[in-house]
């Protein structure tokens, strides 16, 4: 009898050990509302989700909110050129944006993982630090670049468009400032499989050319990458 009890005890101990050693799992019978706000812990959960969604399709979109005013240039022609340059930002991408494996806790102002549906659904919220680059600046090495992704070919396309209106390309690239403001990430996923249910990545983008002869030469845009409804 003692042997039977020992075997049963060993089996239950083994099963319990599986659940307690599996990383980032909230048991299905856990209480709703479980919240994690340690940035490193939340990032570990997020990286695990990202690794399981390399084929997930998300839609990229960019809406221009502010066009530059170039003295002597036709405003409609300028707007058309900027629209075409930024049009490369629209489309579909596979996998979660940025470089999730490289995000570090100090990239984030805050992070939160909250479990719903008795632990079956997790919502990850990341608030990255803002980022400002020169034309050849931090790019994907910065906090916004790692969490959401930044402008690359689009920025070069805009520079080329502006040079078409008589602005010197070399000077533009040396003084250009790219500001990535108010970045945020909200991802809802199945806590059991890691499958992304919905996602919303966004920031406000400002390209600024602080040239004394062309005051307030700014281009503003709202950029987002999304899947489903949050």
State which of 22-31, 73-82, 196-205 shows the largest mean pLDDT.
196-205
pLDDT in tens, 177-194: 899 999 999 999 999 999
- Does 17 or 21 have the greater pLDDT score? 17
- pLDDT confidence of 21, banded at 50, 70, 90? very low
Say whether pTM exceeds 0.85.
no
pLDDT for position 20: 42
**CB contact set of 39 (below 8 Å; sequence gap of 6+):** 105, 108, 110, 111
Q: For the beta carbon of residue 197, count every other beta carbon within 10 angstroms.
A: 15
Q: Inform me whether the pLDDT recorded for 18 exceeds 50.
A: no
pLDDT for position 28: 43
Q: Is 167 helix (H, G, I), strand (E, B) or coil?
A: coil
- pLDDT confidence of 19, banded at 50, 70, 90? very low
pLDDT for position 121: 94
Question: Which percentage of the chain shows pLDDT scores above 90?
Answer: 53
Q: How deeply is 193 buried, as exposed, middle or buried, from its count of CB atoms within 10 A (0-12, 13-18, 19+)?
A: exposed
Q: What is the mean pLDDT of residues 48-61?
A: 95
pLDDT in tens, 36-52: 999 999 999 999 999 99
Q: Inform me whether the pLDDT recorded for 96 exceeds 60.
A: yes
Contacts 24+ apart (CB under 8 A), 168-171: 171/211
Range with the lowest mean pLDDT among 86-90, 115-119, 206-210?
Answer: 86-90
Q: For the beta carbon of residue 23, count every other beta carbon within 10 angstroms.
A: 7
Q: Euclidean distance between the first and final Cα of the chain, in Å?
A: 55
State which of 24-28, 38-42, 62-66, 87-91 shows the largest mean pLDDT.
38-42
Q: What is the mean pLDDT of residues 199-228?
A: 86
Among candidate residues 65, 71, 64, 66, the one with its CA nearest the CA of residue 212: 71
Q: How far is the C-alpha of 158 from the C-alpha of 181, rounded, in Å?
A: 19
pLDDT for position 173: 79
Q: What is the mean pLDDT of residues 163-183?
A: 85
pLDDT in tens, 105-140: 999 999 999 999 888 999 999 999 999 987 765 556
């Amino acid at each position: 009898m003692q042997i039977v009890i020992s075997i049963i005890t060993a089996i239950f101990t083994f099963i319990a050990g599986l659940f307690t050693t599996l990383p980032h799992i909230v048991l299905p019978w856990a209480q709703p509302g479980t919240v994690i706000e340690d940035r490193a812990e939340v990032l570990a959960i997020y990286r695990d989700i990202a690794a399981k969604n390399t084929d997930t399709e998300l839609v990229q979109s960019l809406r221009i909110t502010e066009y530059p005013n170039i003295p002597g240039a036709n405003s409609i022609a300028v707007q058309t050129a900027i629209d075409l340059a930024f049009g490369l930002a629209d489309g579909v991408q596979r996998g979660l944006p940025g470089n999730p494996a490289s995000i570090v806790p100090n990239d984030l102002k805050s992070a939160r993982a909250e479990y719903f549906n008795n632990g079956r659904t997790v919502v990850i919220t990341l608030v990255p630090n803002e980022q400002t680059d020169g034309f050849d600046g931090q790019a994907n090495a910065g906090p916004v670049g790692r969490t959401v992704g930044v402008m690359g070919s689009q920025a070069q396309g805009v520079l080329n468009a502006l040079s078409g209106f008589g602005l010197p390309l070399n000077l533009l690239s040396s003084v250009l400032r790219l500001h990535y403001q108010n970045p945020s990430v909200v991802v809802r996923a199945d806590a059991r499989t890691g499958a992304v249910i919905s996602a919303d990545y966004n920031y406000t983008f400002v390209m600024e050319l602080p040239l004394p002869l062309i005051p307030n030469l700014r281009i503003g845009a709202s950029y987002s990458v999304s899947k489903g409804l949050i």
